[in-house]
Amino acid sequence: MAHTTYDLLVIGSGPAGQKAALSAAKLGRRAALIDRADRIGGVCIHTGTIPSKAMREAVLHYISRSGAPHGGAGRDGLHDLEGDHEGGHAVARDVTMRDLLDRCHRVVNTEAAVVHDQMVRNGVGMLYGRAAFLDPHTLRITRPTRSGQSAGDDATGAEIVDVRGKNILIAVGTEPAHPPSVPFTPNRIIDSDELLKLTELPRSLIIVGGGVIGTEYAAMLAAVGVRVTLVESRPRLLEFVDDELAENLQFRLRDRGIRLRLGESVAQIQLGDDCVEASMASGKIIRAQTLLYAIGRQGATAALNLPAAGLASDDRGRMKVNEFFQTSVSHIYAAGDVIGFPALAATSMEQGRLASCHMFHQLAESTSTLYPLGIYTIPEISMVGQTEQALTAAKIPYEVGIARYREIARGQLMSDPHGLLKLLFHPDSRRLLGVHAIGTGATELIHIGQAVMASGMPIDYFVETVFNYPTLAECYKVAALDGMNRVCILTRQPPESLERAA
């Protein structure tokens, strides 16, 4: 039987898959996205980036209506709720899970519709069902039959379609890890996907895992009155983040009432009649109404039948690729979270584009390896380049310039006195080595530093540039002047005598 053949078949319709398919379509190639659900967008739109950030925006709105500063502006258009204050922070007590999820669903549906329209306009095909390899070029797509049977159905009521791809991209993303030792139970012991299915906010919550997902949800839920205990086996949260910013975040989380159990590992999780009990290896016991297990994610490759294509994943379901995102089978590529670090939506988009360009022999190089990182805690954190601890380990000399939001008019206008921007630069050339920000708008602010780093300019650029007033962008001028003053003190030279960087 003849199979429909595509120039590119993409398994997974998240950020990497979307950009790869669009790039192929714009080159006049026949491309199609395959998604196991009857919807486009993958984990990013439906269970990950977009719904979690939509929930965060809803939380910020509600706590802003409660009347106290929180380090971020709210949004209009939602009804008032009563709130109270803890540790100087507004806590919106009367928020329900439905309040939060209503906004999530609106944003998710809108974003999915935008992406769907983009694919239609560019002629990208969309195939729905679970894909598995039959051979290196052929995929079998299986989906449950909703009504009746057709010639392509099997006896179990599943519709089966076989398609061929001259090139194939694996962009299936990841899914929460489910260790056998954790007794997952609906509404009681849950993963991050199941959190978005709760019908009520828990009164108390244990979060196991102080990575990005666990820390973001801890900050959000504490802001709406949930009593949160965050357990992390490492000595501090987010070890890849600059030490100063991580310590700042930990202080802010504790100030909001979150109990941090750092350096503690969970030995056993048990479900009781009216609570979940987590026993620590140290002997401590923590109890709460609900437990969110947020340690680890697995590549969603288990059902792909990779051996039929001559492929294999690692023990965490991830694919190994070369610098062109090719697997060990040259016409099969992989991109996005399924290949591991950095596992960001923004980097996944670029990986998908570059993979598509390579398979169709288009000259394309990533303009920079300076990928920004954003963490949407409250307050949010963003960074690009090196941290102080990384530069110290690499024995690279550096100096620091800092601007605090309380010194900037815009910071005062936004009632965010705790935010800061930090520049790391070489003391001789004064070229930027790293930029780190915590506070309102940090994930937007970081891109100015990213552009200057990519162009190789020294921090003198910030001193000589006029920024709108009042804006957070002024932080760059203040931080650059602070850093140059430090260099002057160390060298005992006036600023004008310092040699300009080449």
pTM of the shown model = 0.88
The CATH T-level fold of domain 4-41+124-175+298-359 is FAD/NAD(P)-binding domain (3.50.50)
pLDDT tier, 79 (very low <50, low <70, confident <90, very high otherwise): very low
For the chain, give every domain's residue range.
4-41+124-175+298-359, 178-295, 379-497
Residue 447 banded pLDDT, cuts 50, 70, 90: very high
Q: Report the C-alpha gap between 77 and 402 in whole angstroms.
A: 36
Give 368 or 416, the one with higher predicted confidence: 416
What is the pLDDT confidence band of residue 64, given thresholds at 50, 70 and 90?
confident
pLDDT in tens, 389-439: 999 999 999 999 999 999 999 999 998 999 999 999 999 999 999 999 999
- Closest CA relative to residue 434, chosen from 416, 412, 409, 459: 459
Residue 495: per-residue pLDDT: 53
Confidence grade of residue 496 (pLDDT, cut at 50, 70, 90): low
Distance, CA of 345 to CA of 349 (rounded, Å): 6
Average pLDDT for residues 71-95, to the nearest whole number?
A: 46
Distances (CA, A) of 391 to 29, 317, 399: 45, 32, 10
pLDDT reported for residue 273? 85
| Structure tokens belonging to residue 204 | 């108390």
Res 147: pLDDT:
53
Say what the pLDDT of residue 328 is.
96
Give the pLDDT of residue 70: 42
Residue 94: pLDDT band by 50, 70, 90 thresholds?
A: confident
The helix (H) or strand (E) run that includes residue 487 is helix 474-491
Distance between alpha carbon 194 and the CA centroid of its chain, in Å?
17
Compute the distance between CA of residue 22 and CA of residue 498 in angstroms, rounded to an integer: 49
C-beta neighbour count of 119 within 10 angstroms: 20
Beta bridge partners of 293: 208
- CATH match of 178-295 with 3.50.50.60: yes
pLDDT digits (tens, 9 = 90+) for 98-135: 989 988 899 999 999 999 999 999 999 999 999 999 99
What three-state secondary structure class fits 314? coil
CATH assignment of 379-497, among 3.40.50.2300, 3.30.390.30, 3.20.20.60, 3.40.50.410? 3.30.390.30
Q: Residue 2: which pLDDT band, with cuts at 50, 70 and 90?
A: low
Name the residue with tokens 């016409």. 331
Same fold? 4-41+124-175+298-359, 178-295: yes
Nearest by Cα to 95 from 109, 106, 84, 110: 84
| Residues of the chain above pLDDT 70, percent | 88
| Model confidence at 85: pLDDT above 50 | no
